[in-house]
Amino acid sequence: MEKKVYSVKGEELRTVELNDDVFNTEYSEGSVYYAIRNENANKRVGTACTKTRSEVKGSTSKPWKQKGTGRARSGRRRSPVWVGGGIVFGPKPRDYSYSMPKKAKRLAMRSILSQINREERMTVIEDFSIESGKTKDLIAVLKNFSPETKTMIIMKDDDQMLKRSARNIPWVSYMTYNRLNAHDLFYTEKLIVLETAAKNLNDFYAVKE
């Protein structure tokens, strides 16, 4: 399929050939769900910790004798039924991260890119960089393509000046073509892809036998 390429001023320049396997494939709801779930799990710190009855401070002796007081039987003050006692089945530090099959992850990325393209929320523009690194210069470019809505820029490489100019814009995020994030990509409202990045995506996420 072909997609129009625009200049930084919003003028139509030419067309670029996009791989149907990447930008026009059937949406896989399951793979997208599991890809986002996997990324969220891998971000979890897992440092929550509670103390069991063997770890809290307190006497190990009986608070009163077993019989004759008229009160309920009690073994020790560290029991979970007492205020300040141990926690039963509370969280302990753990690693929530897990790996996901590469094919399933790539299918999720193709599904999201295809859905954004079908909904005409994706724009391909000529390669550019913000040499000054100033935020106002990037905003001047974006106003030709995107209102102040959640926007993602897919770059062709690790352009530090482009990153510097975008980091102070709260509604703009950025990623390189080979390090896409399913969560951020799924929830973006407007996708801007640099021309070379679009060509690289054709090969990077192409279906491999």
The answer to whether position 95 is within a domain reads: no
Q: Are strands 122-125 and 2-6 parallel, antiparallel or unpaired?
A: parallel
d(CA 203, CA 110): 12
Whether residues 111 and 184 share a domain: the answer is yes
pLDDT of residue 90: 95
Where the chain has pLDDT below 50, the residues are: none
On whether residue 83 sits in a domain, the answer given is yes
Q: Where in the sequence is the domain holding 159, given as residue range(s)?
A: 2-45+100-204
Per-residue pLDDT, 147: 77
Is residue 209 situated within a structural domain?
Answer: no
* Assigned domain for 24 exists: yes
Q: What is the pLDDT of residue 13?
A: 86
Q: Are residues 76 and 149 in the same domain?
A: no
* 75 and 151 fall within a common domain: no
Left (φ > 0), alpha (ψ -120 to 50) or beta: where does 102 sit? alpha
**Residue 123 shares a structural domain with residue 169:** yes
Are 113 and 196 in a shared domain?
A: yes
Instruction: Look up residue 165 and give its two tokens.
Output: 């100019």
Domain shared by 62 and 79, yes or no: yes
Residue 209 is predicted with a pLDDT of 61
pLDDT at position 99: 95
Global pTM reads 0.84
Q: How crowded is residue 65: how many other Cβ atoms within 10 Å of its Cβ? A: 10
Instruction: Tell me which of 65, 90, 115 is where a domain ends.
Output: 90
Helices (H) and strands (E) in the chain — how many of each?
Answer: 7, 6
